[in-house]
Structure 1
Amino acid sequence: MKKLILRVGLLLMVIISTLSCSKKNDDDRNWSEELKNSVWAGIYQLTSGAYRGEQPFSVEFNADGSVQWSDITCTRPASQWAAVGDTLTITFPNSTTVTSILSGDRLTKFVSGPGAGLVINEASRAALVTEEKLVNAQWAGTQGSFALTFDFIPGGKVTYKKGGEPGVTVPYTIAGAGIRISRNYTPGGGKDYSVLLENGSVFKGLDTFVFGLPPETTYTSFTVAKQ
């Protein structure tokens, strides 16, 4: 019995020591340097407007303290970033802020300042998309109740196929940790933005489709994974 108690005690000491070292290492990280030229991606929601559901975004923290924000609308400056300890603050052009806590390769505990107009649900460290990460692989998943596939072609093009529709080959553009696809129809058209998550194996995106007179816009989330 004494030997068992001794073994349990030693095991607890090892666990406590390991956790203490991990906490110390995380506390010692110099985030103001580590975040420079890094890319992060995640999911956010607007607090006003026609669509308030989840949508993807990516953000680039430049070495000069500026921020590049990409989503389905466009890629644009988001003013400044600063890290004090493990607290990250992003300041937008209208002087509103979003703060979060840096924890390993994830951002947590988001707080949106008054007038920010958005709520960030999740974000993790990502990487800039390159063509090499996309081609020579089948990407398949779902958009709503429909099957969805992406087949990337060298030269910045992708064959996009949803459900039983014939595939259409269109250009795509790289924007941060994601890609933007535009599809033009007569009448109407659609565009997507999706970010590459989970070590480059899964795209999570939002599709918008405009159709009809007067025009109406539908919004549908989608996920495709590398096969």
Structure 2
Amino acid sequence: MKRTILLLLLAFCVGNLAAQTANDSIPRLDSKTKAALNAADQAAYQVAMRYSDLSMAKSKLYDLMIRNPENPRFMEALANIYFDNTQYPSAALVAIDLLQINDKNVGALEIAAYSLEQLGALDRALPHFESLYLLTGDNFSLYKSAFIQYNLKRYEEAMNSVNMLVKNAKTDEKIGFPKSQTETQEISMKAAALNLKGLIYLDQNSIAEAKTAFNEAISLDAGFEQAKENLKKTN
């Protein structure tokens, strides 16, 4: 996993230089020729996607990206293909390049955050989840931020995020938790936040506070299996 992350960072550094070099060497096309090539490549991309020929679809997107560096939608489509097919290193790299163009691109933030999380680069995923929350107010992004902060042992930040979530979570917001190897259960966002609050306290050996938080989570969702298991750790 560490090797994957190092390769990802190296590719990011080298990629910026390579992209600049490539753009500098592209021959200038007249507007009519460029429009015709764009139309042909977009048609080929659509047919390739229809037939699930992802290698051809990506090839056409690369052609469109090189020919139209001012238009981010081709990079966005490429990032989505990589992400949807769990090619997380490539998805992250494309998304990071998109964020250099526009750091408020919500789609790119989502792909960067989740791809980097899947790669185990939690410290690099965290700022993207935090930005997502600030831009969208999405409580799931806030929960992901809190959980990563907890995993990175940044307890004060994690507790601040959890307290915000407990205060702001809507009654109809749910989050999936594993119930067994084959089952998941839907838990209210507030109960999930209280369970995480208990884990933060537990890590800091604040047993009484952890017990209170787990009990509060269970009072909101009586079938919350993970909270019940965590409560046992306080006895």
TM-score range, shorter chain: under 0.3
- The two structures have a TM-score, normalised by structure 1, of 0.26
Structure with higher RCO (Cα < 8 A, 6+ apart): 1
Which protein is richer in strand relative to its size?
Answer: 1
Which protein is richer in helix relative to its size?
Answer: 2
